[in-house]
Amino acid sequence: MDASELSQLYKTRFTVDTLSRKQSIWKIICRSYLQRFITHTDTVLDVACGYGEFINNIKASRRIAIDLNPDTVKHLEASVEFSQCKATEISKIVNNDIDVVFTSNFLEHLPDKKTLELFFDEVLIILKAKGRFIILGPNLRYLSGKYWDYYDHNLGLTHLSLCEVLKLKGFKIELCINRFLPYTTKGCLPTHPFLVWTYLRTPILWPFLGKQFFIVARKV
C-alpha cells in the first residue's frame, strides 16, 4: 500500500470522533502505564506512528516519529520530529542513538515475514546497547477471524511467534503480556480517563478483555 492509498484508508477508517476517542485513551495509557518504560532523558522513535497518539503523549527528551502517511505531520506536536519513510529504512533517519523504539498495531500490516525480519534488523541498527523495543499489537491467538476484518492486515502474529523471532534476531524478552488492551478503541475499553486508568491498574481484567499483546524486548 503506497502513501496515497494509506492516506485515503485512514480518512475512511478514522472519523473525527474516533480520533478524539483514541487520543483520550492514549493519553492515559502513556501516563499510567507506558511511561514507566521510558525516562525523561530518552530518545524515543515511534514507528508507524499513525496520528501521533503515542508520541504526542509520552515524555522524553527527544521524540521522533515516522510514517508513510503524509497527513501524519498535521497531527503531531511541534516538538516531534517527523520523517515520511518506510520502516525498513529507518537507519537512514537515525543510527545507533535511540533509547526506545515503539510500535503499535503495525507489524500485522507488513506484507510477509521477510519484511518483518528486515524491520527488526533496522531496529537493532538504530538502538543503543541495551535499548528497548516496545511492541503492542493484536494477538491472533485470541481474535480468530476478526483479525482479518481489516483489509490491510497481512501477517498473522501471536505473542509466542513474535517472541520467538525476536529471540532469533538477538533480542532479550524483558516482558511479554499475552492479553493487554482490548482489540480496538471501538470496543470495550472505556474512554473516561478514570475508567481507563482503573482498567490499566486492574490486571485481573486483562485476561477477559485483552486481545492485544504487549512485549518489551532489549537489544543484547
- Give the distance, in angstroms, between the CA of residue 195 and the centroid of all CA atoms in the same chain: 22
Structural domain that includes position 17:
3-219
- Which run of H or of E encompasses 130? strand 127-138
Q: What is the CATH number of the domain that holds 101?
A: 3.40.50.150
217 and 173 Cβ atoms separated by less than 8 Å: yes
User: What Å distances lie between residue 190 and 126, 138, 165, CA to CA?
Assistant: 36, 18, 33
The pLDDT of residue 1 = 60
- Tell me the whole-structure pTM to 2 decimals: 0.90
> Rounded to an integer, what distance in angstroms lies between the CA atom of residue 174 and that of residue 157?
19
Mean pLDDT in order along the chain per 10 residues (220 residues):
57 58 89 97 97 96 96 95 96 93 97 98 97 98 90 95 98 98 68 86 96 97
Residue 184: other Cβ atoms inside 10 A: 17
pLDDT of residue 192: 76
The number of C-alpha atoms within 13 Å of 82 and in the hemisphere containing its C-beta is 22
Strands laid side by side in the 212-219 sheet: 81-83, 62-66, 43-47, 98-104, 127-138, 212-219, 171-177
Residue in 83, 88, 100 with CA at minimum distance from that of residue 36: 100
Distance CA 216, CA 159 (A): 11
pLDDT at 207: 97
Grid cell in block for residue 110: 507488513
**Total domains present in the chain:** 1
Q: Is residue 38 packed enough to be buried (19+ CB in 10 Å), middle (13-18) or exposed (0-12)?
A: buried
- pLDDT on residue 132: 98
